[in-house]
Amino acid sequence: MSLSAEKAQDIRHNWTVDEAQALLSLPFNELLFRAQTIHRRHFNPNEVQVSTLLSIKTGACPEDCAYCPQSARYDTGLEKEKLLEVQAVIEKAKAAKAAGSDRFCMGAAWRSPRKKDMPYVLAMVKGVKELGLETCMTLGMLDEEQSQQLAAAGLDYYNHNLDTSPEYYGEIITTRTYSDRLGTLANVRNAGMKVCSGGILGMGESTQDRAGLLVQLANLPTQPDSVPINQLVKVTGTPLESEQDLDPLDFVRVIAAARIMMPASHVRLSAGREQMSEEMQAMCFFAGANSIFYGECLLTTPNPAANKDQALFRKLGINSEHRVTREPESLEALLVTPNSDEQVLFYNAVQV
């Protein structure tokens, strides 16, 4: 059988929860061996795609996602911020590119974007695209018209996570349904954009729920191009602040199963990496993770500093040909440090 035929045969859309659970229950070494074998058929095992995530509008979200410090329903001490001005976003994207990012992701704490917000959002996409970066946004739910507008502006990826299994979803979110999320993914896919969709581990879900999440993702009409796997970041003031810690090996198992079930997708280590040791991250890369978020902050939660990631890549021999033209510390300063002339960086999304 040719390599291309093997690759095509790897991709399935008829996974069952029992099959996914069986993968998660394999002896650890067997599971990682299978995942690495499939990974090498589809990707260079020593290349990791690098994205930077910027919050373009923080806080005051009306949703009740139990893990999220940006929900207006929880007192987490997070200050509500206005939507970033377009040129400020472009300047941050320039710094991200210089520090080694391939993709610039922009997130806004909305249930869905409003009509008056769309011109600014579309201008951000166009401006970042002109820098030669891949573009991604996460803005909440999208209808068909919004999806078409973003696609026409040049948006490459749209992120909208399923979060968990359909069965456990109601324990985490009540303000939008699972079908709402699937509908947004369909609108994005039909508009011609690439889908970025994954979930969160460590929210009190069972192994069966983890299997159910992977099945939902793998059985989409087209498997997601990017699959972010998040480890819960417990934030004081949210309903999940006292959740038990996730076993690191259980997290690695899900990464490996995601690689086996979605062979051609980029599997991304997302939130929670700040709590992961270098050894755990290295094991995740071996299990098939080949994408990370780069920079000190993921929307509102901590992430390893970019210079630490570069150091880990050097230790592991990953991204040896990756182009970095500016020291990563400058990325941290621009993404995290408030600008002294803040009034020119924001416009009031409520009043405009």
Residues involved in catalysis: 61, 65, 68, 105, 136, 196, 268
Determine the Cα angle at 291 with ends 263 and 103, to 5°: 120
For residues 350 and 348, give the distance between their C-alpha atoms in angstroms, rounded to a whole number.
5
For residues 338 and 169, give the distance between their C-alpha atoms in angstroms, rounded to a whole number.
36
Determine the Cα angle at 224 with ends 222 and 226, to 5°: 155
DSSP 8-state secondary structure symbol assigned to residue 12: -
Determine the Cα angle at 122 with ends 120 and 125, to 5°: 115
Burial grade of 135 (CB within 10 A; 0-12, 13-18, 19 or more): buried
Tokens in use for 20? 């996914």
Amino acid 328 reads P
> Which residue is listed with tokens 């980029």?
266
Q: Partners of 104 in the beta sheet? A: 52, 135
For residues 22 and 43, give the distance between their C-alpha atoms in angstroms, rounded to a whole number.
25
φ/ψ region of 315 (left if φ > 0, alpha if ψ in -120 to 50, else beta) reads alpha
Judge whether 190 and 147 are in contact, CB under 8 Å. Answer: yes
φ/ψ region of 59 (left if φ > 0, alpha if ψ in -120 to 50, else beta) reads left
SS3 228: strand
DSSP 8-state secondary structure symbol assigned to residue 295: S
